A and B are shown apart, each in its own frame.
Chain A
């Protein structure tokens, strides 16, 4: 479960990136995080993962407060950053082992998971190569696999489908659904509204760091009858 209460973040004492944001992602839910560029999505995600410290408000992950119990909160998260170009000098298998060690995944369990991810994302042939040899999509798949290798209760994914081929995108979407159905929480940011429409139980739309809407898609379309999601999004963000 993810809980954000009255979270505010200001950069350089002048730019308010996130303003009094509230959000709860219950167990069993997939929530899509939608907003135009610069709306505050990545800032919010970074506060959720402990990368940034909120100026005020609280972030609670799986029952652990990020400011008072950061290690326990971080242990519960599987995070995919917006850029997959990380530690490119390491081989894929070395990166998987690094993440597994950091999240204390036992040897037998990690072997099984690495095997599963390698098969699901077609990584088997490249695991013994430095990641600088990988294509962008391949790196993204590696990041997804590494982020989930410790089977975290909470998935926080920043544009996770960017660069994935259709097979891998489908595999990830299926995994997200399975994970939520198993009683866990998934929050992911996306610009692809169709994905949000098909996959999410709820969406949160933000702009200028403020929540414009948070609820189910049915509630959203009920508020704007005769409009598809794209038009609703444009309508909402245009008036901000």
Chain B
């Protein structure tokens, strides 16, 4: 719980009294809840928060920015791989992040939604209206490209995108973002008149594996992608000049401190394509973004020791965060779910309404629930969002089991309690709830196990936990890294199950276990 508080009140890090108060409150459940509420109003002494998208180059650029800010004496943190363009853009506008790496083509097409290709100055002016500033290009153009296996391209004689017209049987595997983009698949197909019928959406990193084993023949890529050389792929020439320029820049909130902005601007023009490909390759080779980012700086070698976080340490950090996410959300589910279950057990319109609401929440896919919460002002890209989503998920089993546990108490026993003359509160606390305890606890157990599993998704919005290695493993197409997260998460679920079995023996009255 302690580290969770740190996260939640992290913005107040510079205020010692808050830290003291936090320490005093650690361990007590209700105060922690209050801290969560208090965290709504951010204090002023914030570190600069850098966001990044969910692919290697963005991670590396994010790390470089953090490092550059730190070198300039500006406190900065990096939230890795928060999602796609829209999530990052909204997080920037909402103030959950202060800066993130972006590409001019993406800004024009996705954010400003221009039909023509605007000039650099036009883009800058348009962003200014949103209170967002933009650095000069960092030096490389990472445009979209279509790639194929070299051998296959040679065999079929495909060199340009136009050449694809002659091979309608080729299977396309495209990222979901590319499929939906204004400058993505649909206009590309129209422009070139591409005939391919087999088009599927696939995760970027998984797509490379699919390409290698022949499940797909063509996929979208970024022109600085290290995977292109690594996997012996060729970039098909954009002979009709469809793709706009994708010069890498940093976007930042105009209100960001001048020191931070000038630190970011010192990165302008310092990264050419060759250098970026090299950094991307190093990141994927070492599975370590910080290390790759450090290569960018001359003192990279020396500060590399901060990079070597040992595996047990990382695992501990992930696991702790995972337990915090799942545990805290479970606690909220219990605090809210049991009273709701008690009300629901009385039936009527309100009872039906409560059960209906909880059921509906449960039917929303967890990923969609996260995506729905992110644009809401209070939530955004934060631990709050992850905990709220998990809390909502955990609600139904607890509400339903509390209600059914209470409803299953025989009428004769309810009436005995009434006839004895016990007050309503005493009846609830000393008779009804203990009698329903088995059902309630099994609801809590279900919620806990669900939460442990679902909490892996929290990494998608930068909330950390065991989803972090799963996500970056997916991103790096590295099975070992995926397992580093998946195996502990599964073990954790088993452990939690076992813990609750023990808890049953402690909490369920003996008379009900005989």
Do A and B actually bind?
no
